[in-house]
Structure 1
């Protein structure tokens, strides 16, 4: 989806074909600047990926916070999704590891540095070059 504001990431709402989602439902979300995407009919794999991702966000991130504002929730989710997509290695057949760059060479010397975000909920480790 496009966005007219500079530096603002596009918003998407991915939903299934349940009858409880009427045309008015889509209009409300579109008025808030979200692009509504309906998953294909009779495509259980499409919904399974969404359900798995939502479950992962709940277990690994949102279960540790009580949010008092939308901006706080937005910050928490953006930080966690950035970690999930760029720092955290993904496991699975044929997925590959999108964390490692093509020219990656492991550093064997130097102190290990712990990067903590969101109060330690998101933690990653890097080795500083000696």
Structure 2
């Protein structure tokens, strides 16, 4: 296994995300998104990419961990931990003190992220995390 920093290509991104049943995007959208990625990792076994992850955000205060996916044949082998630790190491190297680090866990992966100190929301301190999956213009008038 070897780790490639900032070597995530649109093709690897598209191919690996399919293993997690994630939303598919057009090549042009992936290319643009990857241009704006702060940091990414690809884990290879020989020449084959088996896991990915990336960080997006403002590069100092706010960071969001995205697209952490491990090929099904390589799960439960600590590869996901290598990905997340690499992403968190990057964040620690560039962030201010006490940065905001967020993520949206896929179903049934919450316990995995709790090992790194992430907490479930809502709780007594924080409201529910929210996403907008479809914007309806009439709701914003």
What's the TM-score bracket when you normalise by the shorter of the two chains? Answer: under 0.3
Indicate the structure whose relative CO is greater, using CA pairs within 8 Å and at least 6 residues apart: 2
| TM-score (norm. length: structure 1) | 0.28
**Larger Rg over CA atoms:** 1
